[in-house]
Amino acid sequence: MTDSYAVIGNPVDHSLSPWIHQAFARQTGEDIAYEKLPAPKDGFKSVARRFFAAGGRGLNVTVPFKLDAFDFADQVTERASAAGAVNTLAMRDDGSILGDNTDGAGLVTDIRDNLGWPIAGRRVLMVGAGGAARGAMLPLLERGPALVHIANRTAERAERLALEFARHGSLEASGFDSLGGSFDLIINASAASLSGDLPPLADTLVGHGCQAYDMVYGAQPTPFMAWAAARGAETADGLGMLVGQAAESFMLWRGTRPQTTPVLQALRARLQNQ
């Protein structure tokens, strides 16, 4: 029997999740159907409830519903609890709904395994203190960086996030105007690239041998990537994170972990040929 999965969001037409999960299913021989599931902005719970009542087995959750999904789940994983948001819902055998957050794991997997960039022992700058940064924080700190400095336009928001995760590692926080020093790895978790903008970052932040990662992806380098590359940094976008978080969801649902590299390569070629 074919099991049903979907990505729920508003909007959801642009989502690459069906393509990714269908590629995973072909690779692993899993029998699944995967669709896009639009929901009104005030209707997440009713749409999700109908999906599971009709036999659905799992949902990927995208904007603006990750907080709604957190509230909808009967139980959440530690990493979802730390993130305060859920991007994956899974129907369990007892009929309850488990909420997970695979975004941070997808980020770390892409940085460490796909790109081969080290995290342990390095000075990391996290640009932004919103939901994307929060979702990445615990998986990132679990890899043992020497320091994670959170920088945000509003310093107080960065400071609150640093305080919340202080027991998991060495953290600092500041606004952009008082940000100094240099870093080995810079991760752009802000929304600036979505609008073609660049966070106000000083050139001196790019240390020798620095690597710079933008969670946003596209056919062309983002403004953040162009800025970092012009200052000698190796750069990457977030397409591998997208595939990595999807693989974590697939593993949760199906109990088998797909290989991400061939799917990432095919997806990159697809985007560049559009």
CA atoms within 13 A on the CB side of 12: 21
Note the pTM of the prediction, 2 decimals: 0.94
Is 130 annotated for ligand binding? Answer: yes
pLDDT digits (tens, 9 = 90+) for 2-55: 999 999 999 999 999 999 999 999 999 999 999 999 999 999 999 999 999 999
- CB-based contact 188:212 (threshold 8 Å): yes
Integer Cα distance of 86 and 83 in angstroms? 8
pLDDT confidence band for 250 (50 / 70 / 90): very high
At residue 44, the pLDDT reads 98
CA distance 178 to 176: 6
What would the pLDDT profile of 69-126 be if each residue is shown by its tens digit?
999 999 999 999 999 999 999 999 999 999 999 999 999 999 999 999 999 999 999 9
Residue 169 is assigned to a ligand binding site: no
d(CA 176, CA 202): 9
| Per-residue pLDDT at 206 | 97
Q: How many Å apart are CA 87 and CA 99, to the nearest integer?
A: 7
- Identify the pLDDT of residue 192: 85
Question: What average pLDDT does the segment 224-242 reach?
Answer: 97
**Beta pairing partners, 151:** 127, 174
- With residue 246 as reference, give the H or E element that holds it: helix 239-254
| Residue 270 is assigned to a ligand binding site | no
- 59 CB contacts (<8 Å, ≥6 apart)? 5, 6, 7, 8, 37, 48, 51, 69, 88, 89
> Which residue has 């796909």 as its token pair?
114
Reply yes or no: is the peptide bond before residue 64 cis, omega within 30 of 0.
Answer: yes
Q: Is the peptide bond before 11 cis (omega within 30 degrees of 0)?
A: yes
What residues act catalytically? 66
**What is the maximal distance between C-alpha atoms in the chain?**
58
Query: Has 153 been labeled as part of a binding site?
Result: yes
Does an H or E element contain 25, and which? Answer: helix 17-28
Q: Is 157 annotated as a binding residue?
A: yes
